[in-house]
Amino acid sequence: MVPRGRAPANLEPSRMLRYVTAGTGSPRLSLARAGACHIALVEGEGLLFDCGPGATLRLFQGGFCSQSVGHVFLTHHHYDHMADLGHFALTRWDHTPHPEPLHVYGPPGTAGIARTLFGPQGVYWADSRIRTEHPMGRGIFAARGGTPPRPKPDVRAHDVAHGLAAEGTGWRVLAGPASHAQPIAECYSYRLDVPERSIVYSGDTGVCPEMVDFARGADTLVHMCCFFDDALERLGMVSSVAGPSLAGRVAAGAGVRKLVLTHPQSEEMDTPEGIRRAIADAARHFDGEIFFAEDLMEV
């Protein structure tokens, strides 16, 4: 793992990083919280972590250009983390005359989901044929500055294992452990390394000792916090989802500087009083900075 303050090997220096919790919600519907979706900008190059319901509109609201995003990293295949993938990919393609391919990474099954959505005879196959072959679609394409022939959406999905998922100029993303829906479906966390900072996004997870090592030396840990600890014990879900105490213990064990709690599912937690209580519960285990994420909050 990368010690705090040291640039990861083989990364170029001086890459500016912004990380924004664009969508911080859960399956519980909320006008204040879109589905899980975080965006990192490395000197303008966009990396998207999860793409839950409402992500595309929330990113637009925050002034983020979908065309700047070339890489999407899915933590797992629950709908609240990936339901907006079709909307995002098609918006990015439809409003750019000649877009670059969109790369999507995730646990096993990710490539199959992309084929089902965007491949021949897939969910959006008729839509892409209308927009590329019908005179109406060709006319709109020309009005937006395109020159024929118009290519169909180019979504390149990759099933990845733990370890290096993708890298670019000045950044790399590692896929790591999470404990959530196994053994039915694999679930990941992700670590983004740039020379000046490392940020770990837990995805959805319960007790997962390996995450402490995965996050060690990172500057910031963005960790799931969906129910209070007593509710998790009562419901028997401590191995699958997290409360504030677990998030605090992971942050302390990893030695991060900042802990960002996200993904509240309990209505009790998602109130001003509940947020204060969650932060206080996490602070019993972690003495660094603690924040509770809001949509479009930069961390």
Summarised one tens digit per residue, pLDDT across range 50-69 is 999 999 999 999 999 899 99
Structural domain contains residue 214: yes
Structural domain contains residue 84: yes
Q: How many domains does the chain have?
A: 1
What tens digit of pLDDT does each residue of 214-269 get?
A: 999 999 999 999 999 999 999 999 999 999 999 999 999 999 999 999 999 999 99
Q: Which residue, 134, 38, 146, 37, is CA-closest to 95?
A: 146
Structural domain contains residue 4: no
Rounded CA separation 167/154 (Å): 19
Residue positions counted in the chain: 299
Structural domain contains residue 10: no
Report whether 226 contacts 263 (CB < 8 A).
yes
Dihedral angle over CA of 44, 49, 52, 54, nearest 10: -10
Structural domain contains residue 31: yes
Query: Where in the sequence is the domain holding 197, given as residue range(s)?
Result: 17-298
Structural domain contains residue 69: yes
Structural domain contains residue 74: yes
CATH number, domain containing residue 61: 3.60.15.10
Structural domain contains residue 245: yes
Q: How much of the chain, in percent, has pLDDT values that exceed 70?
A: 95
